[in-house]
Amino acid sequence: MTDTVAMGALLFMAVAVAAVYVLATRLGGVRKSAQLQRKNEQRHAEQLEWRRSGRLPARYVTIYEPGEMVDEDMARMLELGYYVAEDADLVTGSRRVIYRLSGTSAL
């Protein structure tokens, strides 16, 4: 009888640990997704401010984290008159993109 109770307790603990692991993994993914969304919204707000003020930087460097909406941001930059001067994949899995404003000097 005690062996059955002990086995049941061990099984319950294993299931509880697995459930906590799955829950923590899901919450971590949700948090990371929210961070990427906030970063995208901040970039977009910055680009809207440039458009509103008419003061566009000649050169803009940004690093996109894995999972970030790169295409959407690149499309907005192209609308503002930028072109991709350099696009590099980093060892961390991130992507560094250097934009330059069309018609400006590379220096």
Read out DSSP for 67-100?
T--HHHHHHHHHHHTEEEEEEEE-TTS-EEEEEE
Beta carbons within 8 Å of 17's beta carbon, 6+ residues apart: none
Q: What are the angstrom distances between the C-alpha of 58 and each of 9, 46, 104?
A: 65, 14, 7
Instruction: Tell me what pLDDT residue 8 has.
Output: 76
What was the pLDDT predicted at 75? 92
Q: Residues 26-55: pLDDT tens digits? A: 666 667 788 888 988 998 999 999 889 989
Residues of the chain with pLDDT under 70: 1, 18-19, 22-30, 104-107
> Would you tell me the crossing angle of helices 2-53 and 70-80 to the nearest 10 degrees?
0
Domain locations in the chain as residue ranges: 2-101
The answer to whether the predicted template modeling score (pTM) of the entire model surpasses 0.75 is: no
